[in-house]
């Protein structure tokens, strides 16, 4: 890692084990969409439903990797990737134990407007103390993507 002045490790996301019922429900919904697509002769949508279902099932079963996070003088390092401070707009520490312990970041980039850093066992106040030197602290609401992911068990 680049000259990190604050670093930690955490799982890349919070893993929620999926029950057999979850997979059955996903399969039934996918089968209904697939059959509907075939009945309407929309074969491209049928293929997309099949591939999407397979991808979601694989992702649901996947265990998260442990990722290295670090605040460096130039930016935030996530694994081997560096996000420069000048490309980021603001941050907010979401701390609601035991449900939520993460840093939300707003990016200036169009295709990645908002992302989250899980804090793992790291003290959120310590992370905030370092990050506030480089970024504006601004309250962020949970994005629609995060809300839907949590509802679906991701």
Tell me, yes or no, whether 55 and 72 share the same domain: no
pLDDT at residue 86, as a whole number: 94
Tokens of 108: 């200036």
Tell me, yes or no, whether 56 and 71 share the same domain: no
Number of domains in the chain: 2
Tell me, yes or no, whether 33 and 105 share the same domain: no
How far apart (Å, rounded) are the C-alpha atoms in residues 84 and 52?
Answer: 33
- Tell me if 38 is assigned to some domain: yes
Q: Residue 34 — pLDDT band, cuts 50, 70, 90?
A: very high
In this structure, the strands spanning 100-107 and 88-96 are: antiparallel
pLDDT at residue 144, as a whole number: 78
Tell me, yes or no, whether 92 and 143 share the same domain: yes
Q: Is the pLDDT of residue 141 over 90?
A: no
pLDDT at residue 35, as a whole number: 96
Tell me, yes or no, whether 34 and 57 share the same domain: yes
SS3 helix, strand, coil % of the chain, rounded to 5?
A: 40, 30, 35
State the pTM of this model: 0.74
Tell me, yes or no, whether 128 and 142 share the same domain: yes
Tell me, yes or no, whether 104 and 54 share the same domain: no
3-state secondary structure of 20: helix
The whole-chain average pLDDT of the chain stands at 88
Q: Is the pLDDT of residue 24 over 90?
A: yes
- Tell me if 1 is assigned to some domain: no
Could you list the residue range(s) of the whole structural domain that residue 74 is in? Answer: 6-13+67-152
Could you tell me which of 132, 95, 97, 130 has the C-alpha nearest to residue 116?
95
150: Cα separation from own chain's centroid: 10
């Amino acid at each position: 890692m680049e000259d990190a002045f604050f670093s930690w490790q955490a799982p890349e996301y919070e893993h929620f084990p999926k029950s057999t019922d979850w997979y059955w429900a996903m399969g039934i919904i996918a089968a209904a969409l697939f059959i509907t697509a075939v009945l309407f002769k929309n074969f491209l949508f049928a293929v997309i439903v099949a591939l999407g279902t397979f991808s979601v099932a694989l992702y649901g079963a996947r265990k998260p990797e442990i990722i290295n996070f670090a605040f460096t003088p130039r930016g935030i390092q996530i694994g081997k990737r560096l996000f420069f401070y000048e490309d980021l707009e603001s941050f907010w520490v979401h701390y609601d134990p035991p449900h939520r312990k993460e840093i939300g970041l707003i990016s200036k980039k169009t295709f990645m407007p908002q992302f989250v850093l899980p804090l793992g066992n790291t003290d959120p106040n310590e992370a905030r103390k370092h990050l506030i030197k480089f970024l504006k602290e601004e309250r962020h609401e949970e994005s629609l993507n995060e809300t839907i992911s949590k509802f679906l068990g991701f």
